[in-house]
Amino acid sequence: MSNSHKLPNIVITGTPGTGKSTTAELLVTQSPVPLKHINVGELVKERRLYENYDDEWQSYIVDDDKVLDELEPMVADGGVILDWHTCDIFPERWVDLVVVLRCDHTQLWNRLEARNYSLKKIQENNESEIMQTVLEEARESYPPEAVVELQSESTDDLESNVNRIIAWIEAWQKNNATEDSAQ
């Protein structure tokens, strides 16, 4: 996938509690290239990129157009990690890699309980993980070579995932340097 940006844009997605933010933060500190981590959920709250708040589900009803308008200038040059529980709103041209983090549903349940999520929200997210909702969304939205599924259940998984993504970044740089010099 050839893009005009100089550094890759990476989406780290998965059901809440799979380790997206931790993975993204570690990647920023260990990456061979400068990367900026954008926690899209936090951005939605900070910049009020939502229509309203749903008390029943304890979450914001996101205005996708506002989110995309806000993010577009940020991703234009590349080097951005978009960290969010969904990925299908991001245009394919923005995205070089989609990492879908997965976690055993029992472990996920415990992580969400520790965050004091409501029972209804824990059940919904757990069901989403079991049904591979985020993975299917990624596969339907991006080319197969752009989507990778990684287990995220332990510190070893975290380290391995970050190392795999770094290796991917290095390969991306080599491929795009070759494409740039060929043009």
Phi and psi of 163, rounded to 5°? -65, -40
Binding residue per annotation — 66?
A: no
Binding residue per annotation — 19?
A: yes
Q: Which of 25, 36, 45, 20 is nearest to 73 (CA)?
A: 36
Binding residue per annotation — 22?
A: yes
Binding residue per annotation — 29?
A: no
Binding residue per annotation — 20?
A: yes
Binding residue per annotation — 115?
A: yes
Task: Extract the annotated binding site.
Answer: 17, 19-22, 115
Task: Extract the annotated binding site for ATP.
Answer: 17, 19-22, 115
